[in-house]
Amino acid sequence: MKKGLIDFSLFIVPIFLFLVGMEVSLRSLPNSYSYKMSWMQAYGNKVELLILGNSQSYFGIQPAVFDLKAFNLSHVSQMPQHDLELWNTFKHDLRNIKWVIVPLPFSMPYDLHGDLRFTNKNYVIYYGLTNRLSWQHTLELTSLPMRSNFKRLFEGFAFHTQDHPTDSLGFGKGYEPANSRDLKETSIIAAKRHAFGNVNTDNLRAFNELLTEIHASNINILVITLPLSEEYRAQIPKQAIDLLHETAINLEKNFHRLMYLDWSSNPSFTSKDFYDSDHLNSDGAEKLSTLLSGFIRSSNI
């Protein structure tokens, strides 16, 4: 019996230590979540303008362009529930905050098609937010297949690659004009991913709760539907357009410190400004950020 326990320990302990070491190594890889958490803890008290939202704002709004001291706290596939929890996490540190930019994409009220385990576990691990999935998504190791984890470790340590790298102020890098993708092809893919038709009431509730929380602190809110390519706009069903317009009308009625901009078809943006059908490239992002900075500068609220 004793020998059996010793043999079992000699077998299981090295495996356990290997897995622990792998989890630690995965967490040590540079990523936008750990970076933004550390940045907000260190400099959140200096932020005057905070940018929330999903990949459209992550790659579409450049903090460095604004006159105010700005930071981009958005992430790829970030949901309204994440925005709300991030706001509640950092709001007491934001002692100089004057404006918050909250995107309102046509996809916001709907369920996304696709596996969001990869993004959800990042909020749990690096921000300490509520785990919305199973216990597996409290660890890097159990959130993705082992093959994917080995690949991430190899590429991270051998080639210093990083998923969705950011600049020092949280703006997503990599969507350069030279790398732009076909707008028609990506519009079909994006429309399927955004799953128009399946309204998610949790998204709507969290979005409105977020705005209520911000507004209660007497902070100005700029809600914007970001520029979209003509190809993507053609894929949006009428009911999604109607729902967004209804949502926007109600927002302006309910929040007097809120301004809404529907720039989805803003003629200032041409096909050359887009990385794919629903994301601006870096040139388009600089153009958008310059326009938004001027708009905020001239606003009277």
Q: What is the pLDDT of residue 8?
A: 60
Q: What is the pLDDT of residue 23?
A: 80
- Give residue-wise pLDDT tens across range 49-70: 999 999 999 999 999 999 999 9
Which CATH code fits 46-116+126-131+164-298?
Answer: 3.40.50.1110
For residue 67, what is the DSSP state? S
* pLDDT interval class at 16 (50, 70, 90): confident
Mean residue pLDDT across the chain: 91
Tokens of 281: 């490239």
Q: What is the pLDDT of residue 116?
A: 64
Q: What is the pLDDT of residue 204?
A: 94
Q: What is the pLDDT of residue 154?
A: 85
- DSSP labels, 147-205: HHHHHHHHHHHHH---SS-B-TTSPBP---GGG---HHHHHHHHHHHTTTT-B-HHHHH
95-100 average pLDDT score: 98
* pLDDT interval class at 196 (50, 70, 90): confident
Residues in Cβ contact with 21 at an 8 Å cutoff, skipping those fewer than 6 apart:
none
**Cβ(46)–Cβ(97) below 8 Å:** no
Stretch among 26-40, 213-227, 255-269 having the lowest mean pLDDT: 26-40
**Cβ(61)–Cβ(288) below 8 Å:** yes
23-43 average pLDDT score: 92
pLDDT at 131 over 80: no
Domain boundaries, the chain: 46-116+126-131+164-298
195-218 average pLDDT score: 92
For residue 271, what is the DSSP state? G
* pLDDT interval class at 3 (50, 70, 90): low
| % of the chain surpassing 90 pLDDT | 69
Of residues 233 and 129, more confidence is placed in 233
pLDDT at 112 over 90: no
150-162 average pLDDT score: 83
